[in-house]
Amino acid sequence: MQKIGLKLKERREELGFTLRQMSDKTRVPIGKLEAIEAGDLKRLENDLSYVRFYVRYYCNALHIDFEEVRELLDESLDEYSNTTKMMKISEVNEVSERIQERAMSLNRSKQKKWDVSLITFIASVIVLIITLILVFIFLILPNLNQAKDPVLVNPQIPEPIEPLPNTPDETPVVEDQILAINQIDSLNYEIIGFDENEELSLVLNFGSNAYVRITVNGDSAVNLPSKLYNVGSTLDFKFTASADTTLEIYIGWMNGNTMFLNDLSIPLNAEIAARNGSVTLTFKCVGGNA
């Protein structure tokens, strides 16, 4: 986990972002981002079910392929869970030993008229019952209460939603329900994980003056006339996403501009992002959640 945190921290510092800025981009609290960068799963112990989503959002915001760190993340989480369970078992054993020692001490202080064998039996039964209760509290109960990875419909707010129940004819697929952008090449992208006819927002923040023209399925956008946008201005284009919807965006001067889809940072090829000239980017909506 420390290797993953170091990779994310170095990338953030390389891009010149602060933790506050990354928290605003990912909607993940600063404390959790600090724990991820430090590789400190102890600080995330109460949020282990969401750590994969936090790291995914962080990778997307920093233009890092999540699949590069996914296997190492899974190993780190499994190792931490197993270590925690072993510690709980050790604590239970220590408590049991202390209780048994206390019972034996009390047993020796009783008057001789008590039957030593009976007292030992009673103490053993008590110890056994307490041990079973502690095992249930520390080992079994957490597993009963721990749900599968929650389904997050909107990555802007990483709040858990009750997982869909499994049925013989239907298996919930978590990945397909998360809005995401796949970069096909330097100029072409796929949009996946949206609901059919969902309204999406494409935002351009201009770091340089640029003329912009947007077409949807080959037609000029009715509610967004082509025009020149000045430095510091923002273009917020809303469109209805459905299967095979295609957006074509012409930007007259690309260098200095950034792009987002529903606050999800759109990864840009380094050469395209720094181009002192025009580019045409194509976004195709693939599939959709019915």
The pLDDT tens digits for 22-75 are 999 999 999 999 999 998 988 888 888 889 899 999 899 999 999 989 899 888
Closest CA to 261 of 281, 287, 232: 281
pLDDT score at 189: 96
Reported confidence tier of residue 246, pLDDT bands at 50, 70, 90: very high
3-state helix, strand, coil in the chain (%, to 5): 45, 20, 35
| The pLDDT of residue 113 | 58
With cut-offs at 50, 70 and 90, classify the pLDDT of residue 150. Answer: very low
User: What pLDDT band is residue 155 in, cutting at 50, 70 and 90?
Assistant: very low
pLDDT score recorded for residue 18: 94
Average pLDDT, the chain: 82
Sequence length of the chain is 290
Global pTM reads 0.40
Inter-residue contact 27 to 57 (CB < 8 Å): yes
Alpha-carbon distance of 255 to 209, in angstroms, equals 10
Q: Identify the band that residue 92 occupies on the pLDDT scale cut at 50, 70 and 90.
A: low
pLDDT value at position 232? Answer: 92
What are the structure tokens assigned to 52, written together? 């994969």
